[in-house]
Chains A and B, each alone.
Chain A
Amino acid sequence: MLYGYGGNILRIDLTTGSITTEPTDPKLAEKFLGGRGFGIYFLFTEMPRGADPLGPDNLLIFSPGPLSGTLVPGAGKLDITCKSPLTGGYAGSNVGGILTAEIKYAGYDSIILKGKAPKPVYIFIDNDKVEIRDASDLWGKGSLETEKILKDRLGEEFQIATIGPGGENGVKYACITTDYGRQAGRGGVGTVMGSKNVKAVAVRGNKSIPVADVQAFRRAARAMYKACKDSPGLQVWQRYGTAGVTVWSNEIGAFPTRNFSSGQLEGYENLSGEVMREKIVITDKGCFGCPSPCGKWSHVKKYGVRVEGPEYESTALLGGDCALTDIEDVAYANYLADDLGLDSISAGNVIAFAMECYERGILTDKDTDGIKLTFGNAEAVFAMLKKIAYREGIGAVLAEGVKHASQVFNKGSETFAIQAKGMEFSGYESHNAPSMLLSYMTCDVGAHHNRSWAITYDIQTGRDTVTPDKAERVIYLQHVRPLFDALGACRLQWVELSLDLNLYVPTIAALTGLERSWDDLLKVSERIWNLTRLFWFREVPGFGRAWDMPPARFYKEPVVSGPTKGKVMALEDVERLLDMYYEKRGWDANGRPSPQKLEELGLTEFAAAV
């Protein structure tokens, strides 16, 4: 008996219509845990090398983890993995809501989609009953409307993942939405779903998860709950969610403003968590089993819509980076991105880039179809989101991502295309934060903060210094934080409520029946990290050090205003930081894992395929 798992891997071939299941391999569970670990394992071993990300050979893999759907606080996280159409490398995107629990209760540890349906379909999963159903009537509809229609049709207890027009039209950063506002946003997982003609996945499960020692598990999980409820951090986290960060981020010059030219926005007070709470928030909204619901359900009166959020990240990119200063404008842009099925981070970043191009004269009214694409113009942001989703006019170029757009617009715009590995930066301005910049440079999906977030470390240790401990800190975080994505649980109880990491150890032991130390779990996380790295080397011709470099803005163009005004990193410091990072990881000067490191992690057989 494989305790703590759904017990099966479900494979759906959309080309042939074949649907099969097989038992989850206990050895796989031991070596890769689940969630993102299973995702990269199946992607690496089953996707043919060099597959077109938008072709039938790419896989789209939904994986809960061993903690998903259990009593553990925040047990509502799902990993979605595929080869990224945005970067050409690895995409692993994490999403909350309730879907992960439902997949687990239906008995699955991974659902692997491959092939391409001949016409629009949705996947229907009711425990063991799995069908590919016609979705012609849903194609073209928004993400949120699609979810509502399927809930009405199938019943409230079905949990549903959808794509919007962005995913249907091949926007390279299209997202997958569930629970009316939770997104697997990054890397184009929604684009891949659209390329397979899959509009939605609907799941219901009624089975139970086998637990090795029920009494011990209840005790351990309840101790975790109690620690969350007793945490003094709960009041700020529950009242504001991620939006609580906005004020501080501005204060320290980390709030991306006008395409990362500054870290402080004049008028940011109007975007604060408190203003948001007073003006638009109706209620709190949490994922499955969450004691600290950070989601905020908002009613945007000015535009007559309801939206989950905006989260800090959406406010940072659609707000600060585009210089919008009215929380209702930002919330409406967030709503549009959600319903159109676009990653609000990449979309905001891309629009801010286009705004800078417009203000510099690289783009003109002729290019924008007359839209005045100036910073602060909310109507222009709304219009661009629609143009991108439907690939109209300049939207067709911007739909390819900021790296591609800068190559098309040229005229030096590559300097301020704020991306790494082809993925747009998320919400922390990092001119004066070496550890945070390194986090973005080396993140395994492209420039995202979820694997390592190190601003406070920079503040503690000095924002101008480049020292080996910074690389060490980033590596530590890159193992701890994504470990939660392998376990299928939320990291924010640890991050925001200071939940003691040691509490997870007895909980996992009681659930799975396997005693695993925290160090042992971190080793699994390091194994996963190195396998994603090998995937990049296998899939991206010429992959290496250059892919880990940030855009030149961070080492050539000083910050123009705010508390970090004038700050810029020296190129040699950026390079030095990367050298330190590679050395500490056991990688060579081109960022390739050494044979010794791979052997230590039990990955030698995988290296043979690279």
Chain B
Amino acid sequence: MATVELLGILREQAKVRPEDLGPADGKAVADVIQALGLPADLVAFVMVNGRQQPKTYIIQPEDHVILIPLIGGG
């Protein structure tokens, strides 16, 4: 089963915890972000198994998805 991890302020801002969401497999990252109650624009990076992916990416079984905000900037 895929796992979803939140970093930084995303942890504080999410209305639902990822582990309470049910399986993310087969869902688009954007839908998961919405289900977590997060504003999509706050998620700066979507890392799936160590690679950056777009929010349209469909989550596969065994994927490890990390959602990362960008707070301090470039």
Q: Tell yes or no: B41 within 8 A of A by CB.
A: yes
Contact status B72-A491, CB under 8 Å: yes
CB–CB B69/A456 < 8 A: yes
From A269, A274, A460, A495, give the contact of B42 (CB < 8 A).
Answer: A460
Answer whether A456 and B71 are a contact pair too, CB < 8 Å, given A236-B45, A236-B47. yes
Q: Are B52 and A240 in contact (CB-based, < 8 A)?
A: yes
**Which of A427, A459, A494 is the one whose CB lies under 8 Å from B39?**
A459
A496 within 8 A of B: yes
In contact, A232 and B5 (Cβ under 8 angstroms) = yes
**B74 in complex: contacting residue of A252, A272, A312, A494, CB < 8 Å:** A312
Q: Is residue B66 within 8 Å, beta carbon to beta carbon, of the partner chain? A: yes
Query: Contact residue range for chain B?
Result: 20 to 34
B residues near A232, Cβ cutoff 8 Å: 5, 7, 66, 68
B30 → chain A, closest Cβ, in Å?
Answer: 10
Question: B55 an interface residue at 8 Å Cβ cutoff?
Answer: yes
Does B50 reach chain A (CB closer than 8 Å)?
yes
Counting contact residues on chain A (CB < 8 A from B), the size range is 20 to 34
Docked Cα-Cα span, A459 to B41, in Å, equals 7
Point out the residues of chain A lying under 8 angstroms from B50, CB to CB. 235, 239
Q: Which DSSP category, helix, strand, loop or mixed, fits chain A's interface?
A: helix
What residues on B are CB-neighbors of A427 within 8 Å? 74
Chain A residues, CB < 8 A from B68: 232-233, 236
Of the candidates A242, A248, A453, the one whose C-beta lies within 8 Å of that of B45 is: A248
**In the complex, what residues of B have CB within 8 A of residue A251's CB?**
40-41, 55
Chain A residues numbered 225-252 whose CB sits less than 8 Å from any CB in chain B: 232-233, 235-236, 239-240, 242, 244-245, 247-248, 251-252
**B residues less than 8 Å from A272 (CB atoms):** 52
- Encode B59-73 as 1/0 by CB contact (under 8 A) with A: 000000010111111
List the B residue with the shortest CB-CB distance to A272.
Answer: B52
Whether a CB of chain B sits under 8 angstroms from the CB of A57 is no
B54 at the interface (CB under 8 A from A): yes
CA–CA, A460 and B8, complex, Å: 14
Residues of A within 8 A of B69 (CB): 456
Set of chain A residues within 8 Å of B5, measured between Cβ atoms: 232
Q: Which of B42, B45, B73 has the most CB of A within 10 A?
A: B73
Establish whether residues A244 and B42, one from each chain, have CB atoms under 8 Å apart when the complex forms. Answer: no
Which of chain B's residues have a CB closer than 8 A to the CB of A247? 52, 54
CA distance A453 to B5 in the complex (A): 25
Decide if B72 touches A455 in the complex (CB within 8 Å).
no
In A456-507, the 8 Å CB interface with B consists of 456, 459-460, 481, 491, 494-496, 498
Q: Is the CB of B72 within 8 A of A459?
A: no
CA distance A240 to B43 in the complex (A): 16
Known: A459-B41, A459-B42. A454 touches B51 (CB 8 A): no
B44 within 8 A of A: yes
Residues B70 and A248 in contact, CB atoms below 8 Å apart: yes
Asked whether A242 and B52 contact (CB < 8 A) given A459-B41, A498-B8, the answer is no
6 additional A-B residue pairs with CB within 8 Å, beyond A232-B7, A449-B74, A455-B70: A236-B45, A240-B52, A245-B70, A248-B43, A496-B72, A498-B7
Sampled A-B contacts (21; CB under 8 Å): A232-B66, A232-B68, A233-B68, A235-B47, A235-B50, A236-B52, A236-B68, A244-B45, A247-B52, A247-B54, A248-B43, A251-B40, A251-B41, A252-B41, A455-B73, A456-B42, A456-B73, A460-B42, A495-B71, A495-B72, A495-B73
Residue positions of B touching A, CB distance < 8 A: 5, 7-9, 39-45, 47, 50-52, 54-55, 66, 68-74
When A and B form their complex, which 4 residue pairs have the shortest distance between CB atoms, in order from nearest? A453-B73, A495-B72, A248-B44, A459-B41
